[in-house]
Amino acid sequence: MGYKVAVVGATGNVGREMLQILAERSFPADEVVALASERSVGQVVSFGEDDELRVQDLSRFDFKGIDIVLSSPGAKVSAAFAPRAAEAGAVVIDNTSQFRMDPDVPLVVPEVNPGAIAGWCKKGIIANPNCSTIQMVVALKPLHDLATIRRVVVATYQSVSGAGKDAMDELFTQTRAIYVNDPVERKKFTKQIAFNVIPHIDSFMDDGATKEEWKMVVETKKILDPKIKVAATCVRVPVFIGHSEVVNVEFERPITADEARRALRAAPGVSVIDHRVDEGYVTPVEVAGEDNVFVSRLREDITVENGLSMWIVGDNLRKGAALNAVQIAETMIRDGHL
Ligand code: 11C
């Protein structure tokens, strides 16, 4: 017998990807329900190549009988519906920032801390980390196991799909407007995004960091190791899908680029494409639609003790969001939690 699955936020970028990935991976579901806010009710969303689902109203939906909820509706919506769904007996795997730092909610990347899933029963909720954190910790985990990471300095180059469908439209519309000499209109982004980069993702905090940067710091500590220091600068770039990161790491012990490459090649969820020639590295347009996190440009950094630099790229909608959530559900089934 299969599971009953509900996808919340089914009309959004991540919700659509969740439905696609459930179908693609033949997730053992007897029934899949698409839920969203009242204004999307009646819309039809694709489920795999051949099927379609009619969107139902989240606010009126009775979660009784649902086993697994995969959700990405926005933090406020999750705050309101997730406890209700968990109360009705479902496990909620939530992709928003709402529950990530709750000590009673595990924050999980299956390749990194699958053991944390056991804590799901405290609230019936598991949090999916932020996309820029996920792809970084997948690559850092095997290196941490090898030489113990002390400090990470990361700069991100994040695609507009992380900010939703409207943001993707804004990049397209602005790019077109510039080509045809129309006025450039801003809606979602605080500055022009076409042919530009914006060092600002999510809201500003009191210390001058943005919330996106703060998330990379605290989520890395919760998932990988509270002792790791992280300095992050998050930047939006005019790329549709795929986040990239320049990551500089300081370790406790010496580690060569060759050792790191070998460890990364053996690690789950990582592909190393690192040839020191033209085209011997990976860019975001090449990883859109891929499941793995890709590492290129690995090299020793001799300006610090035991330092390495690298370039990490991942599909932010897949491993950075929907795929990670589905993998959490798959791990729960494999390990007998469901
Ligand atoms: C972005 N990382 O690229 C964000 C999107 O906390 O889940 C995901 C925000 C979050 O804009």
Query: Residues 259-275: pLDDT tens digits?
Result: 999 999 999 999 999 99
pLDDT at 49: 87
Query: Angle at the Cα of 77 (from 75 to 83), degrees rounded to 5?
Result: 95
CA 228 to CA 301: how far, in whole Å? 18
Type of residue numbered 167: A
Question: Quick check: is 243 catalytic?
Answer: yes
**Among residues of the chain, what percentage have pLDDT more than 70?**
100
Report the separation in Å between the CA atom of 129 and the middle of ligand 1, taken as the mean of its atom positions.
Answer: 9
Type of residue numbered 144: H
* 320 pLDDT above the threshold of 80: yes
The SS3 assignment for 257 reads helix
CA 23 to CA 47: how far, in whole Å? 6
- 175-179 contacts at long range (C-beta below 8 A, 24 or more positions apart): 175/238
DSSP string, 239-296: -SS-EEEEEEEEESS---HHHHHHHHHHSTTEEE---SSTT-S--HHHHTT--SEEEE
CA 107 to CA 218: how far, in whole Å? 11
Report the separation in Å between the CA atom of 200 and the middle of ligand 1, taken as the mean of its atom positions.
Answer: 12
On whether 176 is known to bind a ligand per the annotation, the reply is: no
On whether 108 is known to bind a ligand per the annotation, the reply is: no
Q: Which residues contact 279 (CB under 8 A, 6 or more apart)?
A: none
* 279 pLDDT above the threshold of 90: yes
User: Taking the CA atoms of the chain, what radius of gyration do you get in angstroms?
Assistant: 20
The SS3 assignment for 293 reads strand
* 127 pLDDT above the threshold of 80: yes
Cβ-based neighbour number of residue 92 at 10 Å: 27
- Could you read off the pLDDT of 64-118 as tens digits, one per residue? 999 999 999 999 999 999 999 999 999 999 999 999 999 999 999 999 999 999 9
On whether 89 is known to bind a ligand per the annotation, the reply is: no
Nearest CA to ligand 1 atom 5: 162
Mean pLDDT of 5-28: 97
- Output helix, strand, coil percentages for the chain, rounded to the nearest 5: 35, 25, 40
The token pair at 286 is 């090449």
* 312 pLDDT above the threshold of 90: yes
207: phi then psi, degrees, rounded to nearest 5:
-85, 5
pLDDT at 246: 98
CA 195 to CA 204: how far, in whole Å? 24
Report the separation in Å between the CA atom of 130 and the middle of ligand 1, taken as the mean of its atom positions.
Answer: 6
32: phi then psi, degrees, rounded to nearest 5:
-125, 130
Start-to-end Cα distance in the chain: 12
- Could you read off the pLDDT of 152-205 as tens digits, one per residue? 999 999 999 999 999 999 999 999 999 999 999 999 999 999 999 999 999 999
Out of 121, 200, 243, 275, pick the active-site residue: 243
On whether 159 is known to bind a ligand per the annotation, the reply is: no
In sequence order, what are the beta bridge partners of 120? none
Put simply, whether the predicted model's pTM sits higher than 0.90 gets the answer yes
Report the separation in Å between the CA atom of 162 and the middle of ligand 1, taken as the mean of its atom positions.
Answer: 5
CA 151 to CA 3: how far, in whole Å? 42
Is residue 132 within 6 Å of ligand 1 at its C-beta? yes
Which atom of ligand 1 is the closest one to the Cα of 201?
A: 11
On whether 11 is known to bind a ligand per the annotation, the reply is: yes
Out of 121, 131, 144, 234, pick the active-site residue: 131
- Residue 139 CA, distance from chain mean position: 13
pLDDT at 276: 96
Report the separation in Å between the CA atom of 316 and the middle of ligand 1, taken as the mean of its atom positions.
Answer: 9
Question: Quick check: is 144 catalytic?
Answer: no
Type of residue numbered 14: V
CA 67 to CA 53: how far, in whole Å? 18
Q: Which residues contact 280 (CB under 8 A, 6 or more apart)?
A: 273, 274, 296
> Please, are residues 135 and 293 in contact by the beta-carbon 8 Å criterion?
yes
Instruction: Look over the chain and give the mean of its residue pLDDT values, rounded to a whole number.
Output: 97
Going by DSSP bridges, is the β-strand pair 68-71/91-94 parallel, antiparallel, or unpaired? parallel
* 319 pLDDT above the threshold of 90: yes
Is residue 135 within 6 Å of ligand 1 at its C-beta? no
Closest to 171 in 3D by CA, of 98, 236, 243, 264: 236
Nearest CA to ligand 1 atom 3: 162
pLDDT at 1: 76
The token pair at 180 is 């045809």
The token pair at 1 is 């017998």
Q: Which residues contact 121 (CB under 8 A, 6 or more apart)?
A: none
